Structure 1
Amino acid sequence: MQSNPNRTRAFLRRHRLVPALSALAVGVALSGCASQNQPASPSYDNAALNEQLVMATAWMQSSAEYRALSFQAFNIARLRLDQALEARVSGDRPLAVIVDCDEAVIDNTPFEAWLIGRDEHYSSANWNAWVEDAQARALPGAQAFLEYARSRGVEVFYVTNRDESGLEATMKNLRQLDFPWVDEQHMMLRTDTSDKQPRREAVMATHDVALLVGDNLADFDSGYDADEVATRNAQVIQDRAHFGERYIVLPNPTYGGWEKALYDGDYSLSPQEKDQRRRAALRVWSGPQAPGE
């Protein structure tokens, strides 16, 4: 009996198609299983957020510009201190300067650099471990200025928000750097409040304060502890005559009240929320215009 060519071709097509469809079905099924078994893509964590520290930390650690700004700050501080000394008359109270510690006279950028690449954030435990190591270095010009103040009979008070539990380690660190007036009377660490105003007022009750030196504007006035960017900026306008006169500011792009204000004072935001707040604060160029637009 002769075979029907059409029926033969249909039979062959049908039998070739079955394995192909079967393989496709198995592949889809395996693909579905694989996608279910694969871990979800990682959420935006502290390691991702800490990448934003790279440029600021590298600038503070390596740039000549940062060193120049630090020397500039302490040169101005010495000039203003000389003016205050020249204006003194018999019977005046002892003269003093008030300085913050971290990023105002000592450099903690190795701590910031340690955070980079780690799913870590600032915490009391991490920070206290750094404090106990007593490895902070003097900012350029800081030791020379503080020693000059001592040589002119001007007392130095260190008003810092390092916790009081770190007093001994902080004094060890400052003494290693040959900073003057490093004793329990002149070291004023945080106890029950981070507001520095009561400590500043305690110094002002017994001394004439010529200068305040800090990297965070709350080192000068508690009004800068505000949680709103606009409030802090408005107070800068109000205090503009003090900068370079009574207030000496050191640059710190790695942390501070400026960052807290971006979060409306809420440091408990997730890393992703912090990233979003930072980006939302940017003023962005619209970009190049296409020809004819």
Structure 2
Amino acid sequence: MPLRHTLALSSLYQRRLVPALSAFAIGVALSGCASQAQPTSSTYSSADLNEQLVMATVWMQSAAEYRALSFQAFNVARLRLDQALEEHKSGDRPLAVIVDCDEAVIDNTAFQAWLIGRNEQYSSDSWNAWVEDAQARAMPGAGEFLDYAHSRGVEVFYVTNRRASGLAATMKNLKQLDFPWVDEAHMMLRTDTGDKQPRRDAVMSTHDVALLIGDNLADFDSRYDADDVATRNAQVIQDRAHFGERYIVLPNPTYGGWEAALYDGNHSLSPREKDQRRRAALRTWSGPAQQSP
């Protein structure tokens, strides 16, 4: 074949082949992006699911609004405690306050932040290591409120579902924060059950409990341990008079009974299944009205 024909054909192939290859490359790239945006069930990992912790965790760690809500909760708690003290008479049983620990008076968001970017879910091993490190910080306003209760002779009972094996480390952490009433008589950790009612009943059998403070509604009543969203919401309606009166709730969007209810209590769901349950619970706007052409 003459050289000029060969060169002409080569030029023709280049004009046709390069755009085709470019289109193919773009298609592959877009396909890769799509697969990252919509991972399959087999590739969706705990690391993918943990990315959903970013907004909630950074809000708790940096938002002034979060601090304001925490201060507000403890300000209301002090007002209610003052009311209880005014009504308390000589000869009555001693007054007490029951508080949860995690995300109620101490902040564990550094543990949640540690999960982000890692391909693992919450586990007893990693959580126990965090507990033993004793690095949880005081919730805004918690120390001041607990000190005030102590100054008025009101006992504080820490009813927490941290396991009893973490008692020494938890006491160390609370003492570092200068919290009062940190002794074995007032630390009531989990032993054989996560139901806190027997521990609450034990306190109520000897004390008049003025307030219960927690981030999870099961910190107030075991009926909130229900594994479905509707039951928990219906219970809130029934108990609505107690909130801000006897029950003081701290905000926690990172974990809790509300999340377990999305999974019907089944934490063994895969990361993809948990993601699907979360998205299915969203109430979504239909979008702007379509304009006629």
Q: Per-residue displacement from partner, 1:177-204 (whole Å, max 9, x unpaired)?
A: 0000000000000000000000000000
Task: Determine the structure 1 residue equivalent to 2:73.
Answer: 73
- Match runs of 1:178-217 below 5 Å: 178-217=178-217
Give the AA of the match of 1:238: Q
Task: Determine the structure 2 residue equivalent to 1:280.
Answer: 280
Task: Determine the structure 2 residue equivalent to 1:169.
Answer: 169
Task: Determine the structure 2 residue equivalent to 1:289.
Answer: 289
Tell me, what secondary structure is at the counterpart of 1:268?
A: coil
Tell me, what secondary structure is at the counterpart of 1:264?
A: coil
Task: Determine the structure 2 residue equivalent to 1:102.
Answer: 102
Task: Determine the structure 2 residue equivalent to 1:229.
Answer: 229
Give the AA of the match of 1:255: Y
Tell me, what secondary structure is at the counterpart of 1:103?
A: coil
Contiguous gaps of at least 5 residues in structure 2? 14-38
How far off its partner does 1:76 sit?
0.2
Aligned mates of 1:265, 1:224 — CA distance in 2 = 12
How far off its partner does 1:291 sit?
1.4
Task: Determine the structure 2 residue equivalent to 1:264.
Answer: 264
Aligned mates of 1:112, 1:238 — CA distance in 2 = 32
Matched, 1:138 2:138: yes
Q: TM-score, normalised by structure 1?
A: 0.86
How far off its partner does 1:89 sit?
1.3
Aligned residues: 264
Percent identity over paired residues: 80
Aligned mates of 2:263, 2:212 — CA distance in 1 = 27
Q: Per-residue displacement from partner, 1:219-255 (whole Å, max 9, x unpaired)?
A: 0000000001000000000000000000000000000
Aligned mates of 2:220, 2:78 — CA distance in 1 = 18
Tell me, what secondary structure is at the counterpart of 2:203?
A: helix
Give the AA of the match of 2:256: G
Tell me, what secondary structure is at the counterpart of 1:101?
A: coil
Q: TM-score, normalised by structure 2?
A: 0.86
- Match runs of 1:49-64 below 5 Å: 49-64=49-64
RMSD: 2.2
Tell me, what secondary structure is at the counterpart of 1:125?
A: helix
Aligned mates of 1:67, 1:46 — CA distance in 2 = 29
Task: Determine the structure 1 residue equivalent to 2:34.
Answer: none
Q: Per-residue displacement from partner, 1:43-75 (whole Å, max 9, x unpaired)?
A: 100000000000000000000000000000000
Aligned mates of 1:121, 1:207 — CA distance in 2 = 39
Give the AA of the match of 2:113: A
How far off its partner does 1:120 sit?
1.1
Tell me, what secondary structure is at the counterpart of 2:237?
A: helix
Tell me, what secondary structure is at the counterpart of 2:96?
A: strand
Aligned mates of 1:264, 1:290 — CA distance in 2 = 37
Give the AA of the match of 1:127: W
Aligned mates of 1:121, 1:178 — CA distance in 2 = 32
How far off its partner does 1:292 sit?
3.5
Give the AA of the match of 1:46: S
